[in-house]
C-alpha cells in the first residue's frame, strides 16, 4: 500500500499550469485561416473550446505519467514484483462519468452550432452545383438555369443554398475560408448553406479522392456585390446541359428509391 498520500494540491497545480501553457500555444495558432462566412466564427469557437478541453485532458495524462515515473520508480537493486492492485470502484465511476459529460457537452454544442448554420433565410439564393471527374459547374435556377463552368459567382451577405448533384462518383465541396465542406453523392441531392461575408476571390476544392485528376479539381469563386452578381448572371449565355438538368430532376432529397422498386420498373 502507499505509505504517503498523493500530493493532490501540487499535482492539481501542475495540471492547471500545464493546461494553461498548452492551451495558450494551441489557441495562438491560426489553424483555419480567414473567417469569411457567418458560419466560420461559430465553427472556430467550437474548435477553440475543444482545444481547451483537450489541453486539460492532455495535461492530466502527462502530469499523472510524470508523477508515476518519478514517485513509484524501483530502488536500485529492487527485483521484487509490484503490489497487486485490484479494481477501484470510485476511480472507475469517475473515469466513466467525466468523459461522458465531456462528450455530451461537445455533442450538444456541435448540435447548436449546426442548427444555427443550417437555419434557412427566406431571402436565400439557390445555386445548383454539378460535380464530375474532374470539373465543377454551376446553375442559377432563379435565372432560367443560367450555367457557368469552372467559375462560381455569388453575392456577398446573402445566404446561398447549394444543391449538389454528382454526375459520376463522390466528390466533396470545400471552401476553406467559409469552413463549409459537403459531399456530392451520385443519386441524391446534398445541401450546403453558406452566407459569405467578404467580397473577393476564393477557391473551391474537391476534398474527396475521386480519380486521377482529383488534385486538379478546383473552381474559382467570386464573391461580389448583389448588383455586380445580377449583372454577371444576366450576361451568361449558356443554359444547363440536358444530362445535368436530368440529374436535378432525378436526384432525391433523401435517399435513392428502394432497390425492389427500381427493379420492378
Ligand atoms: Cu476529387
Q: Are residues 12 and 108 in the same domain?
A: yes
Model pLDDT for residues 129-179, shown as the tens digit of each residue:
999 999 999 998 765 678 999 999 999 999 999 999 999 999 999 999 999
Which residue range is the domain that position 96 belongs to?
8-71+89-117
Q: Are residues 102 and 145 in the same domain?
A: no
pLDDT of residue 265: 42
Q: Are residues 105 and 155 in the same domain?
A: no
pLDDT of residue 263: 47
C-alpha cell read off for 24? 495558450
Let me know if residue 241 belongs to a domain: yes
- Using the mean position of ligand 1's atoms as its centre, give its distance from the Cα of residue 246 in Å: 22
Given a cut of 90, is residue 212 above it in pLDDT? yes
Let me know if residue 136 belongs to a domain: yes
What CATH number corresponds to the domain at position 250? Answer: 2.60.40.420
State CA 209 to chain mean position distance: 17
Given a cut of 60, is residue 219 above it in pLDDT? yes
pLDDT of residue 26: 94
Q: Are residues 140 and 242 in the same domain?
A: yes
Sign of CA dihedral 53, 57, 60, 65: negative
pLDDT of residue 145: 79
- Using the mean position of ligand 1's atoms as its centre, give its distance from the Cα of residue 218 in Å: 9
Residues with CB under 5 A from ligand 1 (ion): 206, 210, 214, 217
C-alpha cell read off for 38? 457567418
- Using the mean position of ligand 1's atoms as its centre, give its distance from the Cα of residue 185 in Å: 12
| Contacts for 247 with CB less than 8 Å, ≥ 6 apart | 130, 165, 167
Q: Are residues 111 and 214 in the same domain?
A: no
Let me know if residue 149 belongs to a domain: yes
Given a cut of 90, is residue 222 above it in pLDDT? yes
Q: Are residues 36 and 135 in the same domain?
A: no
φ/ψ of residue 97, rounded to 5: -70, -45
Q: How far is CA 224 from CA 62, 109, 154, 196, 201, in A?
A: 49, 32, 6, 10, 9
Let me know if residue 2 belongs to a domain: no
- Owner of C-alpha cell 465541396: 173
Let me know if residue 48 belongs to a domain: yes
Q: Are residues 234 and 142 in the same domain?
A: yes
Q: Are residues 132 and 66 in the same domain?
A: no
Domain count, the chain: 2
- Using the mean position of ligand 1's atoms as its centre, give its distance from the Cα of residue 129 in Å: 14
Let me know if residue 79 belongs to a domain: no
Let me know if residue 1 belongs to a domain: no
Q: Are residues 154 and 246 in the same domain?
A: yes
- Using the mean position of ligand 1's atoms as its centre, give its distance from the Cα of residue 199 in Å: 26
Q: How far is CA 180 from CA 24, 35, 206, 223, in A?
A: 26, 11, 12, 15
Model pLDDT for residues 49-64, shown as the tens digit of each residue:
999 999 999 999 999 9
% of the chain with per-residue pLDDT over 70: 92
Given a cut of 70, is residue 3 above it in pLDDT? no
Q: Are residues 140 and 244 in the same domain?
A: yes
Q: Are residues 245 and 144 in the same domain?
A: yes
Amino acid at each position: 500500500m502507499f505509505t504517503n498520500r498523493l500530493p493532490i494540491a501540487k499535482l492539481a497545480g501542475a495540471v492547471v499550469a500545464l493546461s494553461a501553457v498548452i492551451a495558450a500555444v494551441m489557441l495562438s495558432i491560426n489553424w483555419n485561416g480567414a473567417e469569411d462566412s457567418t458560419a466560420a466564427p461559430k465553427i472556430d469557437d467550437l474548435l477553440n473550446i475543444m482545444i481547451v478541453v483537450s489541453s486539460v485532458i492532455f495535461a492530466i495524462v502527462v502530469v499523472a505519467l510524470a508523477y508515476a515515473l518519478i514517485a513509484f520508480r524501483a530502488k536500485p537493486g529492487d527485483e521484487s514484483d509490484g503490489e497487486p492492485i485490484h479494481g477501484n470502484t470510485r476511480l472507475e465511476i469517475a473515469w466513466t462519468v467525466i468523459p461522458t459529460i465531456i462528450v455530451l457537452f461537445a455533442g450538444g454544442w456541435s448540435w447548436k452550432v449546426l442548427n444555427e448554420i443550417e437555419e434557412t433565410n427566406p431571402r436565400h439564393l439557390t445555386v445548383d452545383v454539378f460535380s464530375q471527374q474532374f470539373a465543377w459547374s454551376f446553375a442559377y435556377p432563379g435565372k432560367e438555369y443560367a450555367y457557368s463552368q469552372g467559375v462560381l459567382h455569388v453575392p456577398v451577405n446573402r445566404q446561398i443554398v447549394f444543391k449538389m448533384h454528382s454526375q459520376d462518383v463522390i466528390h466533396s465541396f470545400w471552401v476553406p475560408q467559409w469552413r463549409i465542406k459537403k459531399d456530392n453523392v451520385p443519386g441524391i441531392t446534398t445541401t450546403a448553406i453558406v452566407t459569405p461575408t467578404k467580397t473577393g476571390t476564393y477557391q473551391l476544392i474537391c476534398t474527396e479522392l475521386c480519380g486521377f485528376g482529383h488534385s486538379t479539381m478546383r473552381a474559382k469563386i467570386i464573391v461580389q456585390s448583389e448588383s455586380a452578381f445580377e449583372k454577371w448572371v444576366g450576361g451568361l449565355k449558356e443554359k444547363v446541359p440536358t444530362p445535368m438538368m436530368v440529374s436535378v430532376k432525378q436526384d432525391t432529397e433523401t435517399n435513392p428509391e428502394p432497390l425492389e422498386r427500381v427493379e420492378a420498373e
